[in-house]
């Protein structure tokens, strides 16, 4: 569609400050989302958390780039950028499709680069072996049906859904993301060494408490789960309690880990 458009970075820094001892938080958006999903997070989180958002092509300031519709192409692009930040402590957050990309990025960092994040946050996502159970392949739907599916998910404002010109620009990225989801096949792998927190929405019709509990079958180390008010897009409706839960798992433990690491190098 826009094959000649220049390629922009996948990682956008949202924080204005970066004090000594801070931890970088890399956030992966849901299907159709971009870096703006995490607008305001840096202002609500402690200064010690340096917020970065993943910006896939085909949306927002990368609108005129072709969207990516395979997980492998996404990992091939984003992991090298993550490696540029790997000398400092970092954590990963992903919501819905972003949680799948987050999990797989952590796997590549672990298996190919011997790197572990300080913590992994998986939000609004079924345990991966069950990710396709009962789901439709949305990327092949006619435009009107796809828009109606987005309306039912309750994550896109009605004024945007009714704006034909805007939807014409947005839908290629949405289709690409849903194609990525439909093609995803979970392969068993060594469990993450990092602690994992799973978030869910109390009223999420597609990700129930049983789905969150199934993450324990994939994770052998530290795992905890938090259920917050809201549907699938509780990360917006319950943004402040979500960020509070993340902050208390990052700031203290990571600072302590950093001090131990520094002492060990003396």
pLDDT, one tens digit for every residue, the chain (266 residues): 454 455 679 999 999 877 777 899 999 999 999 999 999 999 999 999 999 999 999 999 999 999 999 999 999 999 999 999 988 999 999 999 999 999 999 999 999 999 999 999 999 999 988 776 546 667 767 777 877 887 887 778 888 888 988 888 899 999 999 999 999 998 888 888 899 999 999 999 989 999 999 999 999 889 999 999 999 999 999 999 999 999 999 997 554 444 333 223 32
pLDDT of 260 reads 37
Long-range contacts of 135-141 (CB under 8 A, 24+ apart): 135/181, 135/206, 137/178, 137/182, 138/175, 138/178, 138/182, 139/69, 139/174, 139/175, 139/176, 139/177, 139/178, 139/179, 139/181, 139/182
Position 5 in a domain: no
pLDDT of residue 259: 36
Kindly report the CATH number assigned to the domain that includes residue 158: 3.40.50.1820
What strand order describes the sheet that includes 11-13?
11-13, 49-54, 23-28, 90-95, 120-123, 196-201, 223-228
Amino acid 133: pLDDT: 59
The answer to the question of residue 164 being in a domain is: yes
pTM strictly above 0.85 = yes
Query: Which range marks the domain in which residue 20 is found?
Result: 11-264
Q: For residues 261 and 266, what is the distance between their CA atoms, to the nearest angstrom?
A: 9
204 lies in some domain? yes
Q: How many domains does the chain fold into?
A: 1
Residue 141 lies in a domain: yes
Q: What pLDDT does residue 253 have? A: 59
176 within domain boundaries: yes
Closest CA to 121 of 243, 259, 17: 243
Instruction: Determine whether 203 is an active site residue.
Output: no
What is the pLDDT at residue 128? 86
Position 234 in a domain: yes
The verdict on residue 54 lying in a domain is yes
Task: Write the CB contacts of 2 (distance below 8 Å, at least 6 apart in sequence).
Answer: 64, 65, 66
Catalytic residue among 15, 22, 36, 96: 96
Q: Is residue 1 part of a domain?
A: no
């Amino acid at each position: 569609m826009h094959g000649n458009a220049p390629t922009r970075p996948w990682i956008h820094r949202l924080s204005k400050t970066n004090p000594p001892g801070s931890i970088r938080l890399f956030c992966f958006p849901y299907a159709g989302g971009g870096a703006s999903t995490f607008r305001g997070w840096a202002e609500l989180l402690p200064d010690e958390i340096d917020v970065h958002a993943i910006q896939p092509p085909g949306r927002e300031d990368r609108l005129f780039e072709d969207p990516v519709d395979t997980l492998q192409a996404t990992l091939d692009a984003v992991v090298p950028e993550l490696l540029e930040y790997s000398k400092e402590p970092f954590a990963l957050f992903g919501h819905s499709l972003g949680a799948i990309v987050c999990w797989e990025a952590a796997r590549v960092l672990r298996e190919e680069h011997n790197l572990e994040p300080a913590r992994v946050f998986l939000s609004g996502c079924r345990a991966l072996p069950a990710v396709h159970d009962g789901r439709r392949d949305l990327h092949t739907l006619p435009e009107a049906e796809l828009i109606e599916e987005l309306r039912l998910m309750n994550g896109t404002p009605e004024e945007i859904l009714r704006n034909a010109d805007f939807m014409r620009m947005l839908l290629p990225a949405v289709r690409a993301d849903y194609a990525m989801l439909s093609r995803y096949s979970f392969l068993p792998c060594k469990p993450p060494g990092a602690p994992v927190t799973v978030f869910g929405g109390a009223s999420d019709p597609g990700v129930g408490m049983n789905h969150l509990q199934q993450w324990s079958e994939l994770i052998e180390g530290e795992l905890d789960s938090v259920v917050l008010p809201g549907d699938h897009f509780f990360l917006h409706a319950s943004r402040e309690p979500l960020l509070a839960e993340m902050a208390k798992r990052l700031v203290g433990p990571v600072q302590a880990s950093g001090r131990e690491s520094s002492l060990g190098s003396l």
